[in-house]
Amino acid sequence: MRRAMILLGGVALAIGAFTLFYRGPGQPFIRGYVSDVGATMLVYAFLGLLWRTTAARRALATAAIAAAVEFYQIVGTTPPGVGGVLVGAFPDPWDLVAYAIGVVAALAWERRSVRDQTG
């Protein structure tokens, strides 16, 4: 399980690096939404390393953290510098879709890893 979460975190970081340096067609989409998918996968991987619970609880916690970030964008002011990059600058309902995709992808990653270990 630990190895699966470390690998998932690596994949999430690779997605983040890709979106940071990508300069091709669809850059706003890639930067805006694919990065959210990767960020959500990274949160799930961190929770997987730190919290021994069911995959469903990790998925719900990850979704709650992502929703809290979006809610913060609605009610809070964007922090300067790195903080603004981490929580985003403005709310976007499509971010919630990207977060959901990230949670589903991370959950599928974990379930496949568990299946591969058992059989």
Q: Kindly report, residue by residue over 61-82, the tens digit of the pLDDT.
A: 999 999 988 888 777 765 555 4
Residue 13 structural domain? 2-118
Q: How far is CA 75 from CA 78, 89, 95, 99, in A?
A: 10, 12, 16, 19
Q: Which two tokens stand for residue 20?
A: 């940071």
- Structural domains in the chain (count): 1
Once rounded to an integer, what is the mean pLDDT over residues 3-19?
94
pTM to 2 decimals? 0.83
User: What average pLDDT is seen over the chain?
Assistant: 86
Once rounded to an integer, what is the mean pLDDT over residues 73-99?
71
Question: Quick check: 39 pLDDT over 90?
Answer: yes
